[in-house]
């Protein structure tokens, strides 16, 4: 992450901490992005929460061309097609990549102002 992305990352983390009362981890942020993509804030089952995190991951990786939105099903759930498999990254590289893509998502969706 470059310095500007780091500043945005900390704004996201501290803004969400202020909003929810505790510091979110990557999974919590993926869950929030998934809910944002669904456009529905409601109580989700454990399986649905996992699906929301998957939707968020696909959305984020679509910025790098690895996934493409295919369609919304009749219940409004987004479905993605893999365009090409993402490269193997170790856990630290995965986390850094996700942080950068989360920052991009928050900027593109004008979510920074809400924090």
Q: Tell me the per-residue pLDDT of 9-38, one tens digit each, with 9 for 90 and over.
A: 999 999 999 999 999 999 999 999 999 999
Model pLDDT, residue 92 = 95
Residue 41 has pLDDT above 90, yes or no: no
Residues β-bridged to residue 81: 68
Q: Tell me the per-residue pLDDT of 95-107, one tens digit each, with 9 for 90 and over.
A: 999 999 999 999 9
Q: Tell me the per-residue pLDDT of 60-108, one tens digit each, with 9 for 90 and over.
A: 999 999 999 999 999 999 999 999 999 999 999 999 999 999 999 999 9
- List the domain boundaries for the chain: 3-114
For the chain, what is the mean pLDDT? 95
CA distances to 15, 17, 96, 98, 102 from 91, rounded to whole Å, are: 25, 24, 9, 10, 16
Q: How confident is the model at residue 115 (pLDDT cuts 50, 70, 90)?
A: confident
Model pLDDT, residue 110 = 95
Model pLDDT, residue 114 = 81
β-pair type (67-72, 78-82) = antiparallel
């Amino acid at each position: 992450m470059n310095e500007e992305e780091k500043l945005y990352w900390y704004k996201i983390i501290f803004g969400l901490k202020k909003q929810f009362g505790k510091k979110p981890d990557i999974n919590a942020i993926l869950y929030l992005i998934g809910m944002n993509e669904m456009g529905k804030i409601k109580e989700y089952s454990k399986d649905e929460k996992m699906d929301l995190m998957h939707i968020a991951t696909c959305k984020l990786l679509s910025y790098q061309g690895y996934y493409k939105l295919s369609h919304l099903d009749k219940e409004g759930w987004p479905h993605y097609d893999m365009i090409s498999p993402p490269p193997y990254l170790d856990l630290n590289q995965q986390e850094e990549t996700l942080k950068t893509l989360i920052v991009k998502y928050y900027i593109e969706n004008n979510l920074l102002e809400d924090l």
